[in-house]
Amino acid sequence: MKKLIACLTAITAVMCITTSCGKVEETTDDASIAVESTESGENGGITEEETESTSDETEETTETTETTEEATTSFSSDLAYASTVEEYVSAVNNKDYERALMLMFPDSLAEVMLEFDEFGVSQATDVFDGANCTIVDLKENNDATDEFADELAQALSQIKGAYEYIAENGEDAFWSYEPDEKAEPMCEITQLYEVVLTVANENGDTADIPLMVYNVEGEGWNIDASMQEYISESKEQSMVSTAKSFSNATNSILVEMDCMGVDLSGCFVICSDSSKNISGDFDVDAFTEDLANWFPDYTDYEYILVIDNGMCLGAYCADKSDSEIVGMYPDGMVPTFENGKIVRDKITLSENDSYSLDELYEMITAQAE
């Protein structure tokens, strides 16, 4: 694990492309063909038959080159970062580790990573072996700038700090490194997008590769696949935090209503889709009006709130723009109706599975009637 911090991030993005495209057989070197033909001719010369063979191979090589160039130039995109993605793929194809690294990370971080001589260029480019990918398509998934750009900048700062610490104290010091969570971000990320890059190898096999592209103030676009998992985890954590905000806001409103003498006895389910409410005599309109005061952004989300005798037992939400990620608070537990009452810990969810809001609603209300 000694080289972990020195090479893991760089290898991840490189391997993402090479493993997806698959390896292709190396083409025969034209120079070696010429040498073999010369040696096989009488008295060191080239026979007429061999000349024709070499000519045919040259024509075939020319046709292959023209086909490759045609495939490469056929890709076009109006996306602002398309040219940087093309340069990134070109660096991978050309086994240019240093250029790929500079395109992956902000300049100051890439420069620190390149100082680790024990992880040499020759070692790094071995993982490119056999890859010769052509861009087929580039599609933008969604804009994650507002929510994750600052967090990504902070994460990159932590990576740089780890590199600098190891450079000063040695690789073994990695295990004693404690990141400064209050450190200023090393850069400002002004735009951040998740994209899907479709590439094809020389055999025509295609693969979709998820990438993240981000614009660093004063530097330009960077292309990276190694931080994709970080973004996904950040989204999940962010949605859990949002669910907690829903829960806190709901409990605050319920306390106010209780102080005003409102009868809160009973079991209720309040949803963004009012047709799914199980509300009885509960004043949903008054509750929603107060929710706007306690949590103004609540209209950005689809949500389910489970209330039992004046207490929020569960809050579940998903961003309307990305409903696949559902936040739960408390996490991993779903209360459900049983004999007209709500049981708090009847259902425990698997950490390895994901659930939609509709699925959670069915779990909660299956025995409501």
The token pair that represents 67 in the structure block: 């086909």
pLDDT at 181: 66
pLDDT at 171: 73
Does residue 146 surpass a pLDDT of 60?
no
- Cα(29)–Cα(207) distance, integer angstroms: 28
Q: Is 24 exposed, middle or buried (0-12, 13-18, 19+ CB in 10 A)?
A: middle
Does residue 220 surpass a pLDDT of 90?
yes
Q: Stretch 283-295: mean pLDDT, rounded? A: 94
- Cα(289)–Cα(141) distance, integer angstroms: 34
How does strand 220-224 pair with strand 333-338? unpaired
Does residue 121 surpass a pLDDT of 60?
no
DSSP one-letter code for 271? E
The kind and range of the H/E element at 72 are helix 48-73
pLDDT at 265: 92
Q: Stretch 144-163: mean pLDDT, rounded? A: 78
Out of 13-22, 161-170, 226-235, 348-357, pick the least confident: 13-22
- pLDDT, tens only, 37-87: 333 344 444 444 444 444 454 444 444 444 434 434 457 889 999 999 999
In 3D space, the residue among 156, 201, 193, 226 whose CA is nearest the CA of residue 82 turns out to be 193
DSSP one-letter code for 61? H
pLDDT at 268: 94
pLDDT at 79: 92
Residue 200 phi, psi (nearest 5): -130, 145
Q: Stretch 158-162: mean pLDDT, rounded? A: 84
Contacts 24+ apart (CB under 8 A), 201-204: 201/21, 201/22, 201/24, 201/131, 201/132, 201/133, 201/134, 202/24, 202/68, 202/132, 203/22, 203/24
- pLDDT, tens only, 97-110: 788 888 988 999 88
Does residue 14 surpass a pLDDT of 80?
no
- Cα(167)–Cα(81) distance, integer angstroms: 32
Does residue 17 surpass a pLDDT of 60?
no
pLDDT at 200: 87
The kind and range of the H/E element at 314 are strand 311-319
pLDDT at 10: 39
CA distances from 211 to 132, 196, 225 (A): 18, 6, 5
Query: Phi/psi zone of residue 322: left (φ > 0), alpha (ψ -120 to 50 degrees), beta?
Result: beta
Peptide bond into 330 cis (omega under 30): yes
pLDDT, greater one: 322 or 270: 270
pLDDT at 263: 92
Round the average pLDDT of the chain to a whole number and report it. 75
Q: Stretch 211-220: mean pLDDT, rounded? A: 92
CB 368 within 8 A of CB 352: no
Does residue 189 surpass a pLDDT of 60?
yes
Residue 106 phi, psi (nearest 5): -55, 150
pLDDT, greater one: 343 or 83: 83
Give the residues across from 193 on adjacent strands.
143, 213
Does residue 31 surpass a pLDDT of 50?
no
pLDDT at 227: 65
Residues 6+ apart with CB under 8 A from 34: 54
